[in-house]
Amino acid sequence: MSSNPQADNSTTLGQNESLTLGSFVIRPVSGGQYRIDGGTLFGVVPRLLWERHFPPDKNNRILQETNCILIETGQKRILVDTGYGTKLTPRFCQHHDITQTDPLITNLDKKDIRPEQIDLVILSHLHFDHAGGSTCYDENQQLVATFPNAEYVVQRQEWETAMADLPELKGAYDKKDFEPLARTGQLRLVDGDQQILPGIHVRKTGGHSQGHQVIYIEQENEGAVFAGDICATKAHRSVAWCMSYDTNMLQTRREKMKLLNEIRHHNWWLLFDHDPVFWAMKEP
């Protein structure tokens, strides 16, 4: 645990640090790093402002983490988001500087966890960098669920939007990342606010994608919220710092303000999905 170098007195956690809330142990697991055009992550924010936080390379690309969150409750192992997985094309990997072949499974293995041991997967939304690791090809080149014993929780609206082949969302979703889950009977669709397990609930925010959800973890008056792409990095706490990918940017801004106020009120942890340095922070 360290004080923030930007002198805002917040407490931050790095990739090798864990968080204990009551009987829950929470750790980040990288679902893979990649590089992406800086403008996509910061939308209307001028480069002169965002490049202080995320120095771009010569191709204007910045480094992004895909922080998946492992929650161990004592009874169950829960994974929030699954990174980009193993189904990307060589061309895509080249453009995005992806060299890791199976980052999520490799990084779970380093924590002594096998795919069969995951009981529940909660997906903030179904874009490739969050849902890509949910499915993979088996030895017969058949698409299967990566976590064979897990139930996968998705907002119904996100599922229906992603499955609808909407021309205005062409390229936003790849059905290979999630369609097999319906066949295997592992899919649990939820609507709006829903308790998933005691101490864990989800809330639909929309904004970034139509059925985007955030994940609340609460134990004995302590709490943490995985904000997904509503607040992807520490820099995104400023209300206008939104991604160009947002389908409804005003909704993202409203939900971010609501979420940050709630977190400050309760003195909870905020968990970031794309910050390559900090996966969790708490304000004083």
As measured in angstroms, the least distance from the Cβ of 245 to Zn ion is 8
As measured in angstroms, the least distance from the Cβ of 23 to Zn ion is 30
Strand partners, 215: 202, 226
> CA-to-CA distance for 65 and 43, rounded, in angstroms?
18
Task: List all residues 6 or more positions away from 139 whose beta carbon is below 8 Å from its beta carbon.
Answer: none
Strand partners, 270: 225, 281
Nearest residue (CB) to Zn ion, 172 versus 197: 172
Here the tokens at position 83 are 């990174």
Nearest residue (CB) to Zn ion, 238 versus 244: 244
As measured in angstroms, the least distance from the Cβ of 129 to Zn ion is 5
Interface stretch with Zn ion, choices 91-99, 150-158, 221-229, 275-283 (CB under 5 A): 221-229
Q: Is 72 in the site for Zn ion (CB under 5 A)?
A: no
Q: How many of the chain's residues bind Zn ion (CB under 5 A)? A: 2
Nearest to 42 by CA among 264, 274, 210: 274
Task: List all residues 6 or more positions away from 200 whose beta carbon is below 8 Å from its beta carbon.
Answer: 71, 78, 122, 215, 216, 217, 218
Q: How many residues are present in the chain?
A: 284
Nearest residue (CB) to Zn ion, 24 versus 159: 159
Nearest residue (CB) to Zn ion, 72 versus 229: 229
Nearest residue (CB) to Zn ion, 229 versus 275: 229
Nearest residue (CB) to Zn ion, 21 versus 62: 62
Residues 24 to 53: which contact Zn ion by CB under 5 A?
none
Interface stretch with Zn ion, choices 98-106, 110-118, 133-141, 224-232 (CB under 5 A): 224-232
As measured in angstroms, the least distance from the Cβ of 113 to Zn ion is 23
As measured in angstroms, the least distance from the Cβ of 199 to Zn ion is 25
Nearest to 208 by CA among 191, 226, 231: 231
Strand partners, 197: 200
Judged by CB under 5 A, which of 229, 246, 255, 275 binds Zn ion?
229
Go through 22-56 and write b for each residue having 16 or more CB atoms within 10 A of its CB, e for each that does not: eebebbbbbbbbbbbebbebbbebeeeebeebbeb
As measured in angstroms, the least distance from the Cβ of 253 to Zn ion is 17
Nearest residue (CB) to Zn ion, 24 versus 203: 203
> CA-to-CA distance for 86 and 106, rounded, in angstroms?
12
Interface stretch with Zn ion, choices 5-13, 67-75, 209-217, 225-233 (CB under 5 A): 225-233
> CA-to-CA distance for 232 and 239, rounded, in angstroms?
12
Residues 100 to 129: which contact Zn ion by CB under 5 A?
129
Footprint on this chain of Zn ion (rule: CB under 5 A): 129, 229
